[in-house]
Amino acid sequence: MQNRTEAVRHLLSRNVEEVIEKTHLEKALTSGKKLRVKHGIDPTGDKIHIGRAVVLWKLREFQNLGHKIVLIIGDFTAQIGDPSDKLSKRPFLSPAQIKKNLKTYLAQIGKILNLKKAEVRYNSEWLKKLNFQEISQLAENFSMQQMLARRNFSERYKKGEEISLRETFYPLMQGYDSVAVKSDVELGGTDQLFNLLAGRKIQEAYSQKPQDVMVMKMLLGTDGRKMSTSWGNVINIVDAPNDIFGKTMAMRDEQISEYLELTSGFAMEEVHHYAELLKRGENPKHIKEKLAFALVARYHGEAAAQKAAEHFTNVFTKRNVAGAELPSVLLDRRPLAVLDLVFEIRTEIKKPMSRSEARRLVEQGGVAVDDVAMTDPRHVVTPLEGMVVRIGKKDFFRVSTR
């Protein structure tokens, strides 16, 4: 069994980009002190993807060592919208939208964390009580120069794009969350660094010891861009087993090692072993199959993973056997939305379809890629050699790439 020293070493290094006050945190972890470990998650959508789960699995490590996880559901901050790494203004979410998104949030998080041992808080509890004087005192800790120096704000400012004052309030609120729950440590992705550091500064302003900060590596989407529900390049932890398996198999080959490290749960020795096999010319498909199996098993169990693997094998085999008999369409090997995929295929076969018709077909379940239903027109796929696309009930097409 892993001893505590080894567990702490693993906690401070695996999937971690940076630790601020690492020596201080390491000392606290080895001292036996029970830490309050904070993480906030805004319900801006109704599903949690495996990119967000990277932080949740790290929280699980803290929990396994006996520390108190303080999970903050941002029912208030979700209305404001976190501008971190956003190159356009986020929409103002209504309370009704947030309530809808929250419906299954805790059940999803419960796939990773033991919620019975966690402290779950909603930041509307304290943020909606702040008056204008208190907000002004919070704002006094930061300058407009600091805000405009943030990469996303800086780029938008140079382009003359709108930056709402509302967006500049977000780090103040996230920082005040740390004060409200007396956080010892806060976790977040690399895009959250400004907000995480704001927590340290605001805690000091309220005469609290500044929290240590653990910055986690960010997982890119299956198409190589930032993982974003709005772009459809995500794998959600509640996706059906066949969908998780199929999406993993369709991801870009260059990302296999990154996904193995951040999402599989494999020991680093195994991750390095598979990375070495890829360098030696191993077929990426074989490594993807192991990754896909691990992901399905992690969120649905090994029995479901076995069934998903068998399902994919059957589909893949049928695709290769019957492929020559299917009409072939020539597409560029570049990421594109399912809506555009349908539009391009219909244009390629000289049977054009309007974008509105294509959208309705997708939303009604009339499109599948390698037997995986595609109901989100924005979901991003990359055309691969031999991929089979179904459009409607009977029209199957084999993809060739250039």
Place of tokens 């396994």: 64
What's residue 317's pLDDT?
59
Q: Work out the angle at residue 212's Cα, subtended by the Cα atoms of residues 129 and 210, and round it to the nearest 5 degrees.
A: 50
Ranges assigned E (strand) in 163-289? 185-189, 212-216
CA distance 356 to 55: 38
CA distance 8 to 11: 5
Closest CA to 327 of 253, 392, 251: 392
Q: What is the pLDDT of residues 214-235, one digit of tens each?
A: 999 999 988 788 887 666 788 9
Closest CA to 170 of 182, 183, 157, 152: 152
Q: What is the pLDDT of residues 127-156, one digit of tens each?
A: 999 999 999 999 898 888 888 877 778 888
Beta bridge partners of 168: none
If 0-12 CB within 10 Å is exposed, 13-18 middle and 19+ buried, where does residue 359 land?
A: middle
Ramachandran region, residue 207 (left: φ > 0; alpha: ψ -120 to 50; beta: rest): left
How would you label 121-156 residue by residue, b for 16+ Cβ within 10 Å and e otherwise? bebbebbeebeeeeeeebeeebeeeebeebebbeeb
CA distance 357 to 240: 26
Domains in the chain with CATH codes: 4-216 (3.40.50.620), 237-324 (1.10.240.10), 326-402 (3.10.290.10)
What's residue 14's pLDDT?
94
CA distance 313 to 84: 40
Contacts of 355 (CB under 8 A, 6+ apart): 339, 343
CA distance 290 to 180: 43
> What pTM does this model have?
0.79
How many C-beta atoms lie closer than 10 Å to residue 33's C-beta? 11
Q: Which residues of the chain have pLDDT under 70?
A: 1-2, 81-92, 229-231, 316-325
Task: Return the axis-axis angle of helices 256-263 and 50-64, rounded to nearest 10°.
Answer: 40
3-state secondary structure of 52: helix
What's residue 87's pLDDT?
45
